[in-house]
């Protein structure tokens, strides 16, 4: 019965893997083939030609690019992300805890923003063209124009400095009690929520509105159904897929927003780690973190696609 669905989902997953492979090539190429020399970066301008040549040999920089790429990819697949040039530490190890921190932050931002965005989107549809709708779209327009750091520092300025409700710097450490940890991430999570909320709400509104304007909603109205039943029985089943789609796309935005937010709140996550090492021109770290960000982003996009496939009655019940 569901064979076309299984086929399409498998197809989409395979395509995602292929895309990820292409992205890894792109990231590798972006850092290796462009001008700039890793050995030079490590040793600095004063390095002697001999030491440079030795280091190049040691790092395998004299091999052709495709060999270095395959070596790198082989490492990534087996969980070996190499060592950081600037500190000599194992990258996979440094990433472990930070990845968890970032996911923790993103998770709580999502827990707040997703239901809120859907609720506000529904409200905007329910009172379409009314005051609530206009207010919501006005705020949406404004907040898509706000830089993340404006939102972030406004929160810090008022809630950390003036009111002193929450810490302005989000220090977390291993074994920190849950309550304290939540206090620490309150402001960054709020900032992230504000960054994605408006967009997610606007898209939810559009998705639901699209369903509400279908002819079958009129059919239901002309059968005498109550407005609430129309939404529950006739609009909701068709709106689920587009809304999941909207949510996933926005979680992908959220993952990117994390970078700036972490820097604002000095939060020890992936974004902070990436930015630090871009300034240090620490290529292996940048490659590894860039790939992880891209993988999460692509993964969320694939989930969005799969949700749309699974929810489509035409595919679930083929002719």
Positions that interact with another protein (CB under 8 A): 19, 22-23, 26-27, 30-31, 34-36, 141-142, 144-150, 153-154, 156-157, 160-162, 168-169, 214-216, 218-226, 234, 237-238, 252, 255-256, 259-260, 263-264, 274-275, 277-279, 281-283, 286-287, 290, 293-294, 297-298, 301, 313-314, 317, 319
Nearest CB to another protein, comparing residues 121 and 282: 282
Rounded to a whole number of angstroms, the minimum distance from the CB of residue 175 to another protein is 26
Smallest distance, another protein to C-beta of residue 61, A: 14
At 302, list the tokens: 């694939």
Who contacts 13 (Cβ-Cβ below 8 Å, separation ≥6)? 302, 306
Radius of gyration of the chain (CA): 24
Integer Cα distance of 94 and 271 in angstroms = 13
Q: Which is nearer to another protein, 178 or 237 (CB)?
A: 237
Cβ closest to another protein, residue 174 vs residue 255: 255
Give whichever of 27 and 114 is closer to another protein, judged by the CB atom. Answer: 27
18, 91, 201, 210, 318 from 239: Cα distances, Å: 30, 43, 14, 9, 20
Looking at the Cβ atoms of 108 and 273, the one nearer to another protein is 273
Please, what is the minimum distance in Å from the beta carbon of residue 314 to another protein? 5
**Smallest distance, another protein to C-beta of residue 291, A:** 9
Assess contact for 212 and 283: CB atoms under 8 A: no
Q: What is the largest CA-CA distance in the chain?
A: 87
Q: Of 177 and 266, which has the nearer Cβ to another protein?
A: 266
Confirm if 127 and 133 have CB atoms less than 8 A apart: yes
Residue 207 CA, chain-centre distance (Å), reads 21
Tell the smallest beta-carbon distance from residue 300 to another protein (Å): 11
Burial annotation 167-180 (CB, 10 A radius, 16+ → b, else e)? bbebebeeeeeeee
Distance CA 295, CA 301 (A): 10
Yes or no: say if 5 and 241 are a contact pair by the CB < 8 Å rule.
no
Q: How far is the CB of 20 from another protein (least distance, A)?
A: 8
Cβ at position 76, least distance to another protein in Å: 15
Closer of 107 and 150 to another protein (Cβ): 150
To another protein, the closest distance from the beta carbon of 36 in angstroms equals: 4
CA-nearest of 304, 301, 295, 311 to 22 is 295
* CA distances from residue 233 to 111, 215, 225, 229 in whole angstroms, order as listed: 26, 15, 10, 6
Whichever of 174 and 314 has its CB closer to another protein, that residue is: 314
Q: How far is the CB of 155 from another protein (least distance, A)?
A: 10
Tell me whether residue 200 or residue 220 sits nearer to another protein (CB atom).
Answer: 220
Nearest to 287 by CA among 123, 68, 13: 68
| Alpha-carbon span 232 to 238, nearest angstrom | 10
Q: Running DSSP on this structure, what letter comes out for residue 225? A: -
């Amino acid at each position: 019965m569901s064979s076309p669905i299984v086929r399409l989902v498998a197809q989409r997953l395979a395509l995602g893997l292929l895309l990820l492979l292409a992205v890894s090539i792109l990231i590798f190429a972006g850092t290796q083939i462009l001008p700039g020399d890793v050995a030079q970066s490590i040793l600095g301008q004063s390095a002697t030609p001999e030491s440079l040549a030795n280091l190049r040999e040691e790092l395998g920089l004299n091999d052709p690019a495709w060999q270095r790429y395959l070596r790198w990819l082989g490492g990534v697949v087996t969980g070996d992300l190499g060592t950081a040039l600037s500190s000599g530490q194992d990258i996979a190890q440094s990433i472990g805890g930070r990845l968890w921190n970032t996911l923790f932050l993103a998770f709580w931002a999502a827990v707040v923003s997703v239901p809120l965005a859907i609720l506000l989107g529904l409200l905007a549809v329910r009172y379409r063209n009314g005051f609530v709708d206009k207010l919501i779209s006005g705020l949406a327009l404004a907040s898509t124009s706000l830089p993340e750091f404006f939102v972030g520092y406004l929160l810090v300025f008022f809630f950390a400095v003036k009111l002193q409700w929450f810490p302005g710097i989000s220090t977390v450490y291993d074994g920190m009690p849950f309550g304290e940890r939540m206090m620490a991430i309150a402001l960054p999570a709020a900032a992230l929520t504000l960054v994605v909320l408006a967009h997610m709400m606007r898209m939810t509104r559009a998705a639901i509105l699209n369903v509400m304007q279908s002819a079958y909603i009129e059919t239901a109205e002309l059968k005498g159904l109550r407005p609430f039943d129309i939404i529950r029985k006739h609009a909701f089943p068709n709106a689920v897929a587009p809304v999941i789609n909207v949510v996933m796309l926005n979680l992908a935005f959220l993952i990117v927003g994390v970078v700036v937010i972490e820097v604002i709140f000095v939060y020890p996550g992936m974004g902070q780690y990436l930015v630090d090492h871009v300034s240090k021109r620490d290529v292996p770290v940048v490659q590894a973190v860039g790939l992880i960000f891209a993988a999460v982003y692509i993964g969320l996009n694939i989930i969005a696609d799969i949700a749309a496939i699974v929810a489509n009655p035409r595919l679930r019940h083929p002719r």
